Chain A
Amino acid sequence: MHEASVAQYTFEVLTEVINSDDRIKGKKIKKIIFALGRPNTVMPSSFEFYFTELVKGTILEGIPFEYEDSLEEGFFVSSVEVDD
């Protein structure tokens, strides 16, 4: 259930990154990669439900995302794939 908050924070972090990182700003985003650390206390299926709902009608709607493992504790926005 706390994934609702995690989804909200993720949305805010991503929005900031997209609007401030010159490497990303203005480019078409193809994919977002999240890192699941150990432990991370995030259940991906629950996170996906909230995140998908949250980004409807925003620049992030419909952008595919996937996960990678991380040895660091926590849940991260790991990388953003953009058009060259």
Chain B
Amino acid sequence: MEIKVLKNVMIKNNLKAVDNRNQFLKHKILSLNLVSSPGAGKTTLLENTLELLHNKYVVSVIEGDLYTSRDAERLARFNIPLVQINTEGGCHLDARMIGGALEEISLKQMDIVFIENVGNLVCPASFDLGEEARVLVYSITEGDDKPKKYETMFKTADVVIINKVDLSTACNVDISKVEEEIKGINSKCVVFKISALNKNSLTEWVAWLEGKVERIKKS
């Protein structure tokens, strides 16, 4: 006899993501899940974003990494709450890991929680962490053909940051074509074009963050 069950196996992750989201909402925290392929510039973006924001807001970072704490070490100089998650080879962060990390952070008075996911343009797309927004960092050095190839990640992103735009000529990549590809997949996402090494190029991104924080605090 066949018994119909029909249960999505991701419900386990998704229920925990709801818990995490409720915690962020309760404490009026802007939570961002930073995703990208390895080397696209998530940590550099975080470093220079923190340079601009950490004196204005209470910020913490949850660092996802396979085995090392190299990224967390780069951020240690900001003296902010930092939680390292080593996935021991796992290719993504999941909502349970984030739930555990949140127990180590005092959420009272917190304004922003950045979650730096494992560098991978495939697997993290399937795992809701409970974040307010998914921020995809895409390096121009990856070419103009990848958005279509890694469509799920682009479809699920709220923000796409095109990074290393100063290298577009050297890499023979047309920035406007990349943006067109992204918008063709996800017309609703917000797009910023930056060079993460250059703090002056982060103005619009930082203004977006500030606007989000203020809106959440007033909600």
Contact = CB atoms under 8 A, between A and B. Distances in A.
Interface of A: 1-2, 4-6, 9-10, 12-13, 17, 21, 23-24, 33, 35, 39, 41, 74-84
Contacts of A1: 89-91, 123
B3 A9 contact: no
Q: Name A's interface SS.
A: mixed
B125 interface: yes
Contacts of A24: 3
Contact of A77 (B5, B90, B122): B5
B3 A2 contact: no
A41 to B, nearest CB: 5
B216 to A, nearest CB: 29
Interface string B9-30: 1111100000000000000000
Interface of B: 1-13, 89-92, 94, 122-123, 125-127, 152
A10 B123 CA distance: 17
Contact of A76 (B6, B89, B94, B152): B6
Nearest to A6: B9
A64 B200 CA distance: 59
A3 B130 CA distance: 20
A38 to B, nearest CB: 12
Given A39-B152, A81-B2, A5 B94 contact: yes
Contacts of B91: 1-2
A12 B91 CA distance: 20
B12 A79 contact: no
Nearest to B1: A84
Going nearest first, the 6 A-B pairs with the smallest beta carbon separation are A2-B123, A1-B91, A9-B12, A9-B9, A10-B9, A74-B8
A39 B5 CA distance: 20
A77 B2 CA distance: 12
A66 to B, nearest CB: 12
A35 B9 contact: no
